[in-house]
Structures are given as C-alpha cells and as structure tokens.
Homo-oligomer: A and B are copies of this chain.
Amino acid sequence: MVNAKVLVVDDEEAIREMIAVSLEMAGLECIGTDNAQTAHSLIVDKRPDIILLDWMLPGTSGIELARRLKRDETTNEIPIIMLTAKTEEDNKIQGLDAGADDYVTKPFSSRELLSRIKAVLRRTHGDKNKAILVEGLALDPISHRITADERPVDMGPTEYRLLEFFMTHQDRAYSRAQLLDQVWGGNVYVEDRTVDVHIRRLRKALAPHKYDHLVQTVRGTGYRFSTKF
C-alpha cells in the first residue's frame, strides 16, 4: 500500500525523527507524538492505517492504549506494531495479548521496520476471505480447503489453523509459546512440545505434495513459514 498513513508513538524525539525520515523516504506519510493522550486524538482524528507504538510511555502506557484501541469498535481494526527494548522480552507476550499485530525490538534497522510495516499492511488490508496462495499451495478460507497444485491436501483442524496462521504471517520465526497463543488461543494449557507434534503432522500432510520445506525449524527459537532459504 503506497502512501499509507503511519502514526509513530514514542517519547524519544530522536527515534520518531529517525523513523519519520526512513518511512517518508519509502513514500509513507508519517505523523508522530510522544504520549498516549495525543496519540488517541490523532488516531480518532486522522485515522492512520497503522500505528507504531512504544511500549514504555510516560503516563498511559503503550499497552494500555493498545487495549483501549482494540476495545473500541471504530479503532480495533487498525493494526499495531509495538516497539520494545531488547530487555523487555516479556512484553512481547503481553503485547500480542493486548492485540498488537507484530513487534520490533529496539534497536532495529529501518529496513526491517519497513518490511514489517509492509507485511502487516498486506495482511490487514487484504480481503480476509481471499484465498492465500504460496507457490502452488492454496488455502481457501471460504470453502475451508487446502490445495497443493489443485490437488486436495488432507489435514486435521489444528494443522489447518496452524497453516492458516503461517500463511498469513510468513517469513517470521515464532516461538512455541507464541504459536500456542495465536493458534490454540491464549487461555489453553498445553505443553510447548505439542507444537512440535503438530508441526510434524503439518509437514507430513504437505510432504506428499513437496511443500513441507515451507515449514522451517529455527533452532533455539521455534518455527517459521517461508519460501526463502
């Protein structure tokens, strides 16, 4: 999406400036503020297409603002990318919980930020009911079917949801815990290693069609769905 409007909420002027420059260079419109209060007005008023939100804000915290936005029907569809310091790993979980669509750890390169923004916009702005196609692998949410080069692929409900999540969140490594949160749902108590088994089942279903290479192991971290490497 060209000329999307991005709102940057961060209390450090320098960071906002840095982001603004690189985003504008990429053809995105950029507005910014240093506090949640103003941020909310800007959101209601200017209706940005995406929000970059620092997790540590003076006054109302970022997480609080995110919750508030996700609760309100008029704003809950605006995607949020949270910006978090490396040390605040825990926040990632809270963040995804509060409805963030992705997170980027500081410090980050503008290239990475940009690619994340584009990924999120592609995901949220696309038709939710449109079939997703990756190489010859297609997932059609309407008929609830998977096809590999036109041939049906048989898999269980959990594998379907897992694949659906992967296909809408490509090129990013997810920990087992994150996958459990996103695919199983946040309030389920399930062993981490169970994810391995379902990954295995998903690969097994894809293998006959030669698409199992898309489900990749990221050792020490978790799994990733990608056409690269």
Contacts and interface: CB of A to CB of B under 8 A. Distances in A.
Interface in A107-140: none
A229 interface: yes
A173 B142 contact: yes
A224 B171 contact: no
B157 A226 contact: no
Interface string A41-73: 000000000000000000000000000000000
A172 B129 CA distance: 11
A143 B171 CA distance: 5
B157 A143 contact: no
- Interface bin, chain A: 10 to 19
- Chain A, interface SS category: loop
A193 interface: no
A171 B229 CA distance: 31
B172 A220 contact: no
Contacts of A144: 173, 218, 221, 224
Interface string A178-208: 0000000000000000000000000000000
A83 B218 CA distance: 40
Protomer copies:
2
A213 B184 CA distance: 31
Interface string A203-229: 000000000000000111100101011
Contacts of A172: 142-143
A152 interface: yes
A8 to B, nearest CB: 31
Interface of A: 142-145, 152, 156-157, 171-173, 218-221, 224, 226, 228-229
Given A142-B173, A144-B218, A157-B219, 14 more contacts: A142-B171, A143-B172, A143-B173, A143-B224, A143-B226, A144-B173, A144-B221, A145-B173, A145-B228, A152-B228, A156-B219, A156-B220, A157-B220, A157-B221
9 interchain residue pairs of minimum CB distance: A157-B220, A144-B173, A152-B229, A143-B171, A142-B172, A144-B218, A143-B172, A144-B221, A143-B173
